[in-house]
Amino acid sequence: MSQESNENKILNEQEKTLLLDHNYDGIQEFDFPLPSWWVWTFVGGIVFAFFYIMYYQFLGAPSLKDEYNQEMAMVKQIREKAAAESGGFSNDEYNSWIASNDGVNKGREVFNENCASCHKEGGLGDIGPNLTDSYWINVKQVNPEALYHVVFTGVEENGMPAWGEVLSKEDIMAAVSYVSTLKNTNAAGGKEPQGELIQE
């Protein structure tokens, strides 16, 4: 049976008019138009590209580098604000100062002069909570940075005054170093636990 006879069996007259002339290994294709959604997507891409190029190349829009610099400037401001609110605490500065200034003994003096009225000598707890157990009210992690922030800024809703404008930075670091030695000692005569159990 001839190729023409096979085509006549498969193709109707309208399809024959749409059949392209080229033939690749016996394979032919119809000259159907592209789907309208594809055409409009293509046109939309060209329109978008035109405005995109105009905006970024000729209308002064910020480059990726400019946007990065702006975002990093915002991050810097946020960090500076957080540092100011926490008294500019630095772990390196804290560790260095405590090691070279007998921080714990200095902290005991600061604590007894300023903190014992609420927390009692030795941190046993009175009006304020017991600092010798494993339960804490104002922090989620018991580390020098968290304790420094609480002492510096206070926690008004829990009755903890802010000491940032009363004590020097060194006095607060010293007090923090002393309080850090009290945790988990569970001294006899301490007030009942308050807050959440924090195990480290």
104/173 same-domain check: yes
Tell me if 63 is assigned to some domain.
no
Last residue of a domain, one of 16, 43, 58: 58
15/95 same-domain check: no
Decide if pLDDT at 132 tops 70.
Answer: yes
Number of compact structural domains in the chain: 2
Report pLDDT digits (tens) over 54-99: 998 888 888 888 889 999 999 888 877 776 666 778 889 999 999 8
Strand-pairing partners, residue 135, are: 197
Q: Assess contact for 128 and 193: CB atoms under 8 A.
A: no
Tell me if 122 is assigned to some domain.
yes
Tell me if 77 is assigned to some domain.
no
Provide the CATH number for the domain around residue 175: 1.10.760.10
120/48 same-domain check: no
Question: Could you tell me which residue, 27 or 54, shows the higher pLDDT?
Answer: 54
Q: Can you give the pLDDT at residue 13?
A: 61
Q: Can you give the pLDDT at residue 133?
A: 94
Tell me if 84 is assigned to some domain.
no
| Domain with 167 in it | 91-197
Q: pTM score, two decimals?
A: 0.59
